[in-house]
Amino acid sequence: MVKPLTFKGDKKTKKRKRPAANVDAAPSSAALPPTSSTGGGLAAARQEPDDDDSWVSAEVVTDIVGPIMIVLPTETPSALASDSRGKVFTLPIENIVDGNPETAEPHDVRQVWVANKVAGTDQFRLKGHHGKFLSCDKEGVLSASSEAVTALESFNIFRTPDTPGTFQVQTLRDTFFGIREAPAAARTSPAEVVGDADGISFHTTFRIRMQARFKPKLKMAKEEKAKEKITRKELEEAAGRKLEDDEVKRLKKARREGDYHEQLLMVRIKGKHDKFG
């Protein structure tokens, strides 16, 4: 189930408690109270990835999946946005620290796109908040009013050479997304985003921010952390006896490395030998 997007400053809604009559019923994961990240127990740790609504920077192309924000290299930091009619425009970013694009987070759902691979290809499709796909026509004009994905709605995304943490968005006609900004002295309107740039430049270089829970590296790290979050008591219950410190360390390490059941069996066998030896 996809969770609704949340932004900084939003009020947290409190979950209603179950009626007393349902106390004996088996609790669902949704009904469990929030647990501190420092608390023990595997069940609590497993909740963390789905509850993480923070935003982080994509570092490699394989990071890019789920809700993203495309941060543009405008003088005033802005993001690629679309409205319900499919108009694509730049929208200044309010959730940002000291103008640093690496801290940007969306404050408006219009700044959010959902990125996914086009089936059977390495190309991406970008869906706006209103359910329509981003498109670039042969003139380089961007819109977000398409209900289907064709070559016009398919894009290559790759890292900018020699500029870590930044990306280029390329159409299938080999042109690039870029910003078109009037000189500061004559600037009376926001920058435009076009899809007809013919080469890589500062104006085609974007940062991509994404929700942390979708980032593969972070998901793997949290899964590893979840595997570590088993208490000594739980390990001793599984082993059927009190454990030495080195046995606890060995079993926790085995959970991380994938041979937990084999190591647990060895601990159980050792316990039987100690008992009857």
For residue 34, is pLDDT > 70?
Answer: no
Q: Specify the higher pLDDT residue, 50 or 183.
A: 183
With bands split at pLDDT 50, 70 and 90, how would you rate the model's confidence at 36? very low
- Please report whether residue 26 resides in a domain: no
Q: Specify the higher pLDDT residue, 218 or 129.
A: 129
Mean pLDDT is highest, among 18-22, 46-50, 128-132, 233-237, for 128-132
Stretch 111-124: mean pLDDT, rounded?
A: 95
63 lies in the same domain as 117: yes
70 lies in the same domain as 143: yes
> Using CA atoms in the order 214, 220, 223, 224, what is the torsion angle rounded to 10 degrees?
-160
Phi first, then psi: what are they for 96, rounded to 5°?
Answer: -155, 145
63 lies in the same domain as 105: yes
Mean pLDDT of the chain, nearest integer: 81
Number of domains forming the structure of the chain: 2
pLDDT of residue 46: 42
| pTM as predicted | 0.64
- Please report whether residue 103 resides in a domain: yes
Q: What percent of the chain has pLDDT over 70?
A: 73
- Please report whether residue 85 resides in a domain: yes
124 lies in the same domain as 235: no
- Please report whether residue 206 resides in a domain: yes
Last residue of a domain, one of 216, 245, 261: 216
pLDDT digits (tens, 9 = 90+) for 238-257: 888 999 999 988 888 888 77
66 lies in the same domain as 120: yes
Three-state SS for the chain is CCCCCCCCCCCCCCCCCCCHHHCCCCCCHHHCCCCCCCCCCHHHHHHHHHHCCCEEECCCHHHCCEEEEEEECCCCCEEEEECCCCEEEEEECCEEECCEEEEEECCCHHHCEEEEECCCCCCEEEECCCCCEEEECCCCCEEEEECCCCHHHCEEEEECCCCCCCEEEEECCCCEEEEECCCHHHCCCCCEEEEEECCCCHHHCEEEEEEHHHCHHHHHHHHHHHHHCCCHHHHHHHHCCCCCHHHHHHHHHHHHHCCHHHHHHHHHHHHHHHHHC
- Please report whether residue 2 resides in a domain: no
Are 207 and 101 within 8 A, CB to CB? Answer: yes
> Using CA atoms in the order 230, 234, 236, 238, what is the torsion angle rounded to 10 degrees?
-110
- Please report whether residue 105 resides in a domain: yes
84 lies in the same domain as 153: yes
**What span, in angstroms and rounded, lies between the C-alpha atoms of 105 and 117?**
23
147 lies in the same domain as 63: yes
pLDDT of residue 45: 36
Domain extent at residue 238: 230-271
pLDDT of residue 35: 35
168 lies in the same domain as 244: no
181 lies in the same domain as 248: no
Last residue of a domain, one of 169, 187, 216: 216
- Please report whether residue 236 resides in a domain: yes
**What span, in angstroms and rounded, lies between the C-alpha atoms of 273 and 12?**
54
Q: Tokens for 60?
A: 């490699």
100 lies in the same domain as 124: yes
127 lies in the same domain as 154: yes
64 lies in the same domain as 145: yes
User: Taking the CB of residue 174, how many other CB atoms lie within 10 A of it?
Assistant: 9
- Please report whether residue 30 resides in a domain: no
